[in-house]
Structure 1
C-alpha cells in the first residue's frame, strides 16, 4: 500500500473517531471501539512504520533538534510520527470526555477543548485543565490529588 493511502486511512480513522467521541460521548461502545479497535490498529501500523523508518541505516537521535530532524528524514518515519500524534491526541480527547462527564461538565463546554486537542494537542489539554479548575473551583496542584483523579 502506498504511504499516501496509509496516511489518508489513518487521518480518516482519527477524524471519524473524534466525531464519534463527541456525538456518542455517553455510549460505552464508542470508548471500547476506539480503545480496543482504533488504538490497536493504529499502534500496529505505527510499529510497522517506525521499524521501517528508523531501522538499519537511519541516522540521528534524540540528543539535539538536528538529530531528531535527521531521525525523521524518511517518509516512513514521518508517517509513524504522525500516527503517534493522532493516537496520543485521541487518547487525551477520550480522557477529557470521560473526566468531563464524570465531573458534570457540559459536552458543549468540552467541544473547544476537543477541537484544541485535535488540532493543537497540548493547547486543548491546557484549555480543559483551565475549564476543569474553574468548574472545581481549584487548580490541580498534583495529578494524584484524590478529588481530581477520582
Structure 2
C-alpha cells in the first residue's frame, strides 16, 4: 500500500477510537477500595486509581468474592450512534463537495471503510455472545424467526452497521461513476443514503439520460471502479 493509504488507514482507526473510547468503553473495572479516603494506602490494588470512570458513575461492588475484574461492553445504542457519526462526514463530502479535489482524495481511499468494518465485527461478536440471541439465531430462516431475532437491540445495531457500510460503498461507486460520466449525482447520493437501491436505480437512469457519450464503466472502458488513491483520481482526471 502507498504511504498515503497507510496514512488514511491510521486516520480512520483513530477516528473510530475517538468515537467510542471517551463515551462508553470501560475495559477494566478493578474491585473498589475499602471505604475511606482515596489513597494508595487504602486500596489493595494501586491500579484501581488509574481505572477510567465517568464522574457521574458510582462504584459498583462485585457480586461475589474473587470477582476482581469485570468487562463492560459497549452498548448497542453507542455503536448505533458511532456508525452514524462516522458516516455523516463522508456522505457530506460526496453530496456537498463533489468537485473538490480533497473530497475526491478522501473518498478514493478504501481506508474509509475500516471503521465500519470494525464496528460491524464488534457488533456481531457482542450480539452472538448473548445466549438469548444465539437461540433466536437458530431459527432466522423463517420470517417469524427473523422477527424474533431482530427484537434484540444488539442485532438491530449489527444490521444497521451492515447497511451503513454497504450503502456507503454503493454511494462511493456512484460518486466516482458520476465524475467519470460527467453527470450530477447529488439526488442519487441522497436517495442512496436514505433508501439504498432506489438511489442506485436513480443514478443508473441519470447516466443513461444525461451522459453525452453513453455510460462508461468497467464493462465499456476496461477500467475498474475498485481502484484506490491516485490511480482512481487519475482515472477521473482522464475522463
Please classify the TM superposition score into its range, dividing by the shorter chain length. 0.7 to 0.9
TM-score, with length taken from structure 1: 0.79
Check the 8 A contact 1:117/1:123 in 2, yes or no. yes
The 5 Å alignment of 1:83-102 reads 83-102=161-180
Per the alignment, do residues 148 and 133 of structure 1 end up closer, same or farther by CA in structure 2, a change over 3 Å counting? farther
Mapped to 1, the partners of 2:202 and 2:93 lie a distance apart of 21
Q: Residues 54-97 of structure 1: CA distance to partner in whole angstroms, max 9, x if unpaired?
A: 34632234422222222333211110100111111111110001
Higher helix share: 1
CA RMSD in angstroms, aligned pairs only: 2.7
1:72 is aligned to 2:150 = yes
Q: Which aligned segments of 4 or more residues in structure 1 are displaced greater than 3 angstroms?
A: 23-28, 136-140, 147-150
TM-score, with structure 2 as normaliser = 0.52
Counterpart Cα distance in 2 of 1:117 and 1:73: 26
Give the whole-Å Cα distance in 2 for the aligned partners of 1:79 and 1:133. 36
1:22 aligns with 2:22: no
- Which residue is 2:202 aligned to? 127
What does 1:31-110 align with in structure 2 at a 5 Å threshold?
31-32=107-108, 35-37=110-112, 39-55=113-129, 57=131, 58=134, 59-60=136-137, 61-105=139-183, 109-110=184-185
Q: How many residues align?
A: 143
Q: Is the 8 A contact 2:77 2:157 kept in 1?
A: no
Single out whichever of 64-73 and 124-133 deviates more from structure 2. 64-73
User: Rg: which structure is higher?
Assistant: 2
Match for 1:5 among 71, 78, 82?
Answer: 78
Unaligned runs of 5+ in 2: 1-23, 25-74, 225-239
